[in-house]
Amino acid sequence: DVKVTQSSRYLVKRTGEKVFLECVQDMDHENMFWYRQDPGLGLRLIYFSYDVKMKEKGDIPEGYSVSREKKERFSLILESASTNQTSMYLCASIHKQGTGGGYTFGSGTRLTVV
Amino acid sequence: DAKTTQPNSMESNEEEPVHLPCNHSTISGTDYIHWYRQLPSQGPEYVIHGLTSNVNNRMASLAIAEDRKSSTLILHRATLRDAAVYYCILRAVYNTDKLIFGTGTRLQVFP
Locate all alpha helices (DSSP H) within B4-72, ordered by sequence. none
* A104-to-A15, A32, A53, A92, B57 alpha-carbon distances in Å: 31, 10, 21, 5, 17
> Looking at chain B, which residue has its C-alpha nearest residue A33?
B98
Strands in A64-70's sheet, in edge-to-edge order, are A4-6, A19-25, A73-78, A64-70
Q: Does A48 touch chain B (CB under 8 A)?
A: yes
Beta-carbon separation of B94 and A98 below 8 A? yes
Query: What would the pLDDT profile of A58-96 be if each residue is shown by its tens digit?
Result: 989 999 999 999 999 999 999 999 999 999 999 999 877
Partner residue facing B98 (CB), from A48, A102, A105: A48
Question: Which residues are CB-contacts of B110 (< 8 A; sequence separation ≥ 6)?
Answer: B11, B12, B13, B14
Residue A33 bridge partners (DSSP): A48, A92
> Looking at chain B, which residue has its C-alpha nearest residue A48?
B98
Question: What pLDDT shows up at residue A41?
Answer: 83
Chain A: closest CA distance from residue B91 (Å): 8
Measured CA to CA, the distance from residue B89 to residue B22 in angstroms comes to 9
The answer, yes or no, to whether residue B13 has pLDDT greater than 80, is yes
The answer, yes or no, to whether residue A98 has pLDDT greater than 70, is no
Beta-carbon separation of A105 and B45 below 8 A? yes
Residue B52 bridge partners (DSSP): none
